Amino acid sequence: MPELHEKNTVKLVQLTDTHIFSDIEETLDGIYTSVSLDAVIEHVNFSGFRPDIVLVTGDLVHDPVPAAYDNLVKSLKLLNAPVFCLPGNHDNPELMKEALPRSGIGISSQIILNHWHIILLNTYIPDTHSGRLGQKQIEYLDGALAQSKQRNVLICLHHPPISINSPWMDAMSLENPEEFFTIVDGHSNIKAILWGHIHQDFNCTRGNILLMATPSTCVQFRPETEHYIKDEQNPGYRQIVLNESGLIETNVIRIDK
């Protein structure tokens, strides 16, 4: 990553789609997800990049039961930074509330660091892989942004709010992106939107807003396919530097298998 950092920067690491099982001997398409997550975390800890916080953007577990969250916690506690999580379609938000805070892992809906306001949204819908921002989340987002006029804003969620040109994934993205962007478009201080779910590196812009998604810590999905095809790229994570001016520097890191 270029060394362009300004003073008072905020450094983040995004992990996503960890898909931890209650039985760590289970695999997801041939990958031991706990082993893979631990390898990613080891890379984060020894990379020389020192994050202020780590964001884990959903699909924390594959089977949403207490034992799976217990296994997740064991791994996340190895990180040398505060951790904040939001739910994905494989999660159970109520179990997250029970399992994570008692272990020191945050599930806050917003984080304020220096000149940045990080907003974490919940797009979980029971019994489906798609996502949706319910009315309470829409109102929360609108209210949080109204209070953030003096700060740069990063919005985080699990489901992509735009098409990624993969029909099978686009069929289970955010169901109400128009409502989301109606609010977003009314605020000039939003600098980036960050999500998971798609198990691949993705970057584009919408106006002046940077849109980003990040490889999974386990299985990768091949981009721009009609149907699911496993990508042979390695697991990874994202480093992000949020500068006081609103400039964002970011880099996706792939680990050795």
Predicted model pTM: 0.95
Residue 4 lies in a domain: no
Return per-residue pLDDT of the chain as tens, 257 residues. 334 556 689 999 999 999 999 999 999 999 999 999 999 999 999 999 999 999 999 999 999 999 999 999 999 999 999 999 999 999 999 999 999 999 999 999 999 999 999 999 999 999 999 999 999 999 999 999 999 889 999 999 999 999 999 999 999 999 999 999 999 999 999 999 999 999 999 999 999 999 999 999 999 999 999 999 999 999 999 999 999 999 999 999 999 86
Give the neighbor-by-neighbor strand order of the sheet with 53-57.
Answer: 83-86, 53-57, 10-15, 236-242, 248-254
Written as six digits, the tokens of 85 are 């999580």
Residue 25 lies in a domain: yes
pLDDT the model gives residue 7: 66
pLDDT the model gives residue 8: 83
| CA gap 139, 2 in Å, rounded | 37
Identify the three-state secondary structure at position 60.
coil
pLDDT the model gives residue 161: 98
Angstrom CA distances, 71 to 33, 34, 39, 74, 224, stand at 11, 8, 15, 5, 32
Our CA angle for 94, 54, 59, nearest 5°, is 40
Estimate the crossing angle of helix 33-46 against helix 66-76, to 10 degrees.
20
Residue 65 lies in a domain: yes
Q: Domain of residue 40: give its range.
A: 10-254
Our CA angle for 57, 58, 59, nearest 5°, is 145
Do residues 179 and 161 make contact, with C-beta atoms less than 8 angstroms apart?
no
Q: 170: domain CATH number?
A: 3.60.21.10
Number of domains comprising the chain: 1
Residue 1 lies in a domain: no
**In angstroms, how far is CA 224 from the centroid of its own chain?**
20
Do residues 225 and 242 make contact, with C-beta atoms less than 8 angstroms apart?
no
Residue 190 lies in a domain: yes
